[in-house]
Amino acid sequence: MQELKNMLMPFARPFLQEMKIRQFKSDVKQRKKSNQPLKVVIGSENIFDDGWLPTDIYIIDLLEERTWKKFFDENDIDLLLAEHVWEHLTLEQGKIAAKNCYKFLKKGGNIRLAVPDGYHQDEDYIDYVKPGGHGIGSDDHKVLYNYKLFQSIFEEAGFQVKLLEYFDEEKEFQCCDWDTQNGTINRSIRFDSRNVNNEPKYTSIIIDAVK
């Protein structure tokens, strides 16, 4: 049975994706009609909090403005959330993506972001997340950010940036209190189960970027 499913999936996938695109468009229209906030997760089809609308690249391509315009007007979105997405883009692509986010967020809108931390104190962590590392998905990682580089991409796009969690140049972990109203980051000091006794074993650079 599993072998049959594997054979049929390439034929079923376009149909399933089209159904999800239509559902997303319907959900966005309903939110607008009822004056509910538009809260969109970029690059997460399966992990999202209540009240958030999940997407994948076949719904919104960060680099293609036309895919945004299928669902949104400029200055339309209240909140965006992207956890471990930007490391899959080149540096230049990351800048394009940041500008598209800026364009479609409302004035005062927020995007909460997280990426692997290139200043992390644990070399095993670095080997896990670096481009070409041994971690899941790292074969597709393009950039290993530090907090300064990641912050600069969004400031260049016009955002005001607040650092929430990161390691600094001295390999010291820095963090401040943040709530989940603007989105939950699972790979964080608070929510990642690997961080036993509040030790930052697996954390991310986490920022809020406000338009």
> Residue 139: how many CB atoms within 10 A of its CB?
10
**Cross-strand partners of 126:** none
pLDDT value, residue 146: 98
At 148, list the tokens.
């300064």
- Model-level pTM? 0.92
For residues 79 and 52, what is the distance between their CA atoms, to the nearest angstrom? 9
Q: Which residues fall within 8 angstroms of residue 203, CB to CB, at 6 or more apart?
A: 117, 120, 165, 167, 173, 187, 188, 189, 192, 195
Residue 159 has pLDDT above 50, yes or no: yes
Q: What strands, in cross-sheet order, belong to the sheet with 53-54? A: 53-54, 39-41, 77-83, 105-115, 205-210, 160-167, 173-175
Rounded CA-CA distance 26/19 in Å is: 11
Q: Which residue has the higher pLDDT, 12 or 52?
A: 52
The pLDDT of residue 4 is above 50: no
- Give me the residues paired with residue 79 across strands: 39, 110
Domains for the chain: give ranges and CATH numbers: 2-210 (3.40.50)
pLDDT in tens, 54-74: 999 999 999 999 999 999 999
The pLDDT, as a whole number, for residue 28 is: 96
